[in-house]
Amino acid sequence: MIVKHILSGAAVVTAAVGAIMSAHMASAAAQVGDGNGNAYASNTYSAIALSLETGYYGWVPNSNSYEQAASMAIADCQSRGGTDCEVKVTWRNGCGAIAVNKVERTISYGSGPSLSAATTDALGKQSSSGTEIAHWNCTPGYSL
């Protein structure tokens, strides 16, 4: 497991980011394949939760509902040391991303049906100078 802490320095109000958690897979009856022998749930949900106070985040890449994804992302954030974890973005069958602007010390979030769409959404909510993707993840079967 990896723990990340983005935006070191004083202003923790816009701090971000840290960690991973895998959720359980959906039942075999609800799974489909990618054509390469890899099974993934046909309707999977994901979420990213962030603690602005500590700068740690958590996520779940594969859950059965928005509610389950949100509660698991909050639990993952708290397990990493987050104290005020809140869900910042959720999605179904796609990808999500966190963009951090180190110059302006701001954070934005995005989601979409692909990694490109999610990162474009997150980056589009920031000014271009100093913004980068700090984290992204996709539900199984979705990335490009």
- The answer to the question of residue 83 being in a domain is yes
- The answer to the question of residue 144 being in a domain is no
Provide the pLDDT for residue 5: 39
- Taking the C-alpha atoms of residue 91 and residue 110, their distance in angstroms, rounded to an integer, is 9
- The answer to the question of residue 121 being in a domain is yes
Provide the pLDDT for residue 40: 52
- The answer to the question of residue 117 being in a domain is yes
Provide the pLDDT for residue 58: 95
Q: What is the pLDDT of residues 81-140, one digit of tens each?
A: 999 999 999 999 999 999 999 888 899 999 999 999 999 999 999 987 889 999 999 999
Provide the pLDDT for residue 41: 53
- The answer to the question of residue 4 being in a domain is no
Provide the pLDDT for residue 144: 65
- The answer to the question of residue 143 being in a domain is no
**Range(s) of the domain holding residue 55:** 12-28+39-138
Number of domains in the chain: 1
- The answer to the question of residue 6 being in a domain is no
Return the higher-pLDDT residue of 47 and 6: 47
- The answer to the question of residue 95 being in a domain is yes
Q: What is the pLDDT of residues 9-44, one digit of tens each?
A: 323 323 332 222 222 222 222 334 444 445 555 799
Residue 87, both tokens: 């869900």
- Taking the C-alpha atoms of residue 119 and residue 112, their distance in angstroms, rounded to an integer, is 8
Provide the pLDDT for residue 129: 80
Which among 144, 143, 140 is positioned nearest to 26, based on CA atoms?
Answer: 140
